[in-house]
């Protein structure tokens, strides 16, 4: 097998992050990356390094995480997918394994990512959604939240919506699309597409929009918060359990997938909680 040509493969992975320390391999505790690398190694007999389109924190889920890895195994893609799904725990599923161009890199080739955050706006808790939504009991004004979210469109310094522990060269990011959508059963979806995200950026945005939705802040305060470039100016950080990586966009539409990701949270959670 060592003389076989090297292949560059991409995977589309769905996972429930409840029981994991996040995507990235950790010194302690399970991670999605480590589990995938282990199972790919069992099938191919290789030490494989899996690269994701980006990291997700502990408790965060993915509907269409894109990952890439290199292998000399001749096993066809459809058999790799079937083999992995036969070995993986039920809270991780490989939706696709495909041949990728030599230049494809799951993280470096990505042009934008879309995150979906789910809020459960009901006066009582949910047994089914407890690991997949933020339960907010106070009634939320979704029109005000949507108006506030619109101030985030475009290119801005998002320092106010970033964890103070973020170590980056620049806090400037471009938000291409943002929406606040009421769904059935008291659920509200906040969806954001951007060319990149800072640590806890979506969760801080959602926490601040919830304060707009309860009239603690005005919609136009979102512009003031952006201009402040100060984490203390923004609202609370929403819990990780409501956040889903919905999809990753690449220049080539055949690379990566958004699929039906926006619809999946409308179904009851599958697998173990």
List, in sequence order, every residue forming a beta bridge with 112; answer none if it has no partner.
249
Other Cβ atoms less than 10 A from the Cβ of 75: the count is 14
User: Is residue 57 annotated as a catalytic residue, yes or no?
Assistant: yes
Question: Could you give the CA distance from residue 270 to residue 36 in angstroms, rounded to a whole number?
Answer: 19
Q: Find, among 117, 124, 121, the residue nearest to 237 by Cα.
A: 117
Question: Could you give the CA distance from residue 198 to residue 97 in angstroms, rounded to a whole number?
Answer: 28
Q: How far is CA 210 from CA 114, 118, 140, 235, in A?
A: 19, 12, 7, 9
Question: Could you give the CA distance from residue 245 to residue 253 in angstroms, rounded to a whole number?
Answer: 18
| DSSP state at residue 184 | G
Catalytic residue among 3, 57, 141, 157: 57
Angle of CA points 33, 38, 43, to nearest 5°: 125
Q: Do the Cβ atoms of 114 and 192 come closer than 8 Å?
A: yes
What are the structure tokens assigned to 2, written together? Answer: 């060592």
Q: So which residues are the catalytic ones? A: 57
């Amino acid at each position: 097998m060592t003389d076989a040509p090297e292949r560059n493969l991409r995977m589309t992975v769905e996972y429930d992050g409840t029981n994991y320390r996040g995507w990235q391999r950790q010194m302690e505790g399970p991670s999605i990356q480590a589990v995938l690398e282990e199972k790919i190694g069992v099938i191919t007999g290789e030490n494989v390094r899996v690269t994701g389109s980006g990291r997700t924190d502990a408790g965060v889920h993915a509907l269409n995480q894109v990952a890439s890895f290199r292998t000399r195994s001749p096993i066809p893609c459809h058999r790799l997918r079937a083999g992995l799904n036969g070995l993986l725990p039920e809270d991780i599923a490989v939706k696709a394994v495909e041949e990728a161009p030599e230049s494809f890199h799951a993280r470096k080739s990505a042009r934008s990512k879309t995150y979906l955050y789910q809020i459960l706006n009901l006066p009582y808790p949910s047994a089914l959604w407890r690991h997949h939504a933020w339960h907010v009991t106070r009634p939320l004004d979704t029109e005000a939240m949507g108006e506030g979210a619109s101030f985030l469109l475009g290119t801005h310094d998002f320092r106010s919506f970033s964890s103070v522990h973020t170590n980056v060269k620049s806090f400037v990011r471009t938000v291409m699309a943002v929406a606040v959508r009421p769904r059935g059963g008291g659920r509200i979806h906040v969806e954001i597409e951007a060319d990149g995200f800072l640590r806890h950026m979506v969760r801080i945005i959602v926490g601040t929009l919830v304060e707009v939705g309860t009239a603690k802040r005005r919609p136009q305060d979102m512009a003031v918060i952006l201009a402040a470039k100060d984490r203390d100016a923004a609202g609370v950080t929403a819990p990780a359990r409501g956040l889903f990586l919905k999809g990753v966009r690449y220049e080539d539409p055949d690379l990566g997938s958004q699929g039906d990701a926006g619809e999946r949270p409308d179904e009851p959670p599958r697998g173990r909680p």
